[in-house]
Amino acid sequence: MSDIDYPFIEDSQGRKLHYVLRLATDPANARTVFILHGQGFSMTPSGFKDSDWNVVCPLDRYGFDNAGSWFLGEKGDFFVKELMLSLINHIKRTTNSHRLYFWGSSMGGYAAILFGLLCGAEAVFANVPQIKLKNTEYTDDNLTIRKCMDAILSKDFPHWLDLTSLLCNTEKNKYPVFFITQTRFHAFNYLKEHIYYFIQKCDELEANYFLEIVPKTGHLMYRSVSDSIKYFDLYSEDIGNWVDKRKEYVNYKNDIFMASKKNHDGNCIEIKLSLISDDNVGDKDLLLSINPNFLGEKHPSHYGLALSPNPIIGLFKYIPTKPGKYDVSFEIPMDDYEDLEFSVKDFYPKGKTRVVNVTYKVFYKKS
């Protein structure tokens, strides 16, 4: 621990996340950038400052040798992640600015993408970021990194620790613009297993990004913090256009609907969706997702459903989608249940279909 007394955020168990805050000349009208350090750089905050930016430098002093826990926590207890989210909210209240940006390198690059997605940042700059914390050559075959991962993770491995999975399960209207820099030659198959792996998913989900592969070798920070931040200014108009565009995306995975048999007689419910899709929609871009508790003792096929290994999806069936305005109907048996909780999810959150209306009716269906 440095001799300097930095301010901190503290949780109910007394665990602290220290940070440095440098306010802009006009904090409320400035953008806020979080500078997230790499593994082994937890003692000294970045010296970056700019009168046009609120600058926050969290210090992750947990994990192996107290050198960093990827801003997550220890042994599967992701308390540092929660402290970070508390800090982000605290900074928003302090500055009265909600325009969030994240910068990070390596370990910090992972965290920059993580919190950029969780908080709906405008843009993220990630230098040589890890994307997966398990099942890659870099995380499994690099002895130092493996010790770090052993200190952070437990046997349980939440799907969102793979940032492509988090990307898939984040509303598209929260996607930041990703600025990624990476060296061309890097041991442990890094370029393929992390950078190309992430960019391929960005292409699939139509996320916006800037990718720079530099003709260098090794795990290094090619651009300084100040040089990186200049990219946010250089592309400020494009970032602004993206922030405006993403507001148009509608994602229904958090809109929960309840169909009830109360005051109705019947053993089956018909759900009718009125949809509008643009010309780029695929034939299976939506899911009808049902609370897994609905399954009970019966096999999913009894309801014409499948059970996803992803708990966010639960029981589901594909909704056939097509360009234009159209209706889709489903019949779900409800002989053993009074209520049916369901939602409509953009399986790959592409925002190409809008749900105009949802109705249902209860009726008897002969077996």
Q: What span, in angstroms and rounded, lies between the C-alpha atoms of 202 and 288? A: 24
Q: What is the 3-state secondary structure (H, E, C) of 115-150?
A: HHHHCCCCEEEEECCCCCCCCCHHHHHCHHHHHHHH
Average pLDDT over the chain, rounded to an integer: 88
Every domain of the chain with CATH number 2.60.120 lies at: 256-363
Coil, strand or helix at 237: helix
Per the CB < 8 A criterion, the answer to whether 54 and 30 are in contact is yes
Residues 6 or more apart in contact with residue 245 via CB below 8 angstroms: none
Share of the chain above pLDDT 90, in %: 59
- Average pLDDT of 192-218? 95
Q: What is the pLDDT of residues 266-293, one digit of tens each?
A: 778 888 888 888 877 888 778 888 766 6
Every domain of the chain with CATH number 3.40.50.1820 lies at: 8-246
Torsion sign (Cα): 151, 155, 161, 162:
positive
Closest residue by Cα to residue 175 from 98, 126, 121: 121
Q: What is the pLDDT of residues 343-356, one digit of tens each?
A: 787 655 456 787 88
CATH code of the region 8-246: 3.40.50.1820
Band of residue 311 on the pLDDT scale cut at 50, 70, 90: low
| Per-residue confidence (pLDDT) for residue 255, from 0 to 100 | 61
Whether the model pTM is above 0.85: no
Q: What span, in angstroms and rounded, lies between the C-alpha atoms of 75 and 245? A: 39
Kind and range of the H or E run holding 245: helix 236-246
Tokens of 151: 């200190």
| Residue 185: CB atoms within 10 Å | 12
CATH class of the domain defined by 256-363: mainly beta
pLDDT exceeds cutoff 80 at 18: yes
Q: Which residue has the higher pLDDT, 232 or 244?
A: 232
Band of residue 204 on the pLDDT scale cut at 50, 70, 90: confident
| Per-residue confidence (pLDDT) for residue 253, from 0 to 100 | 42
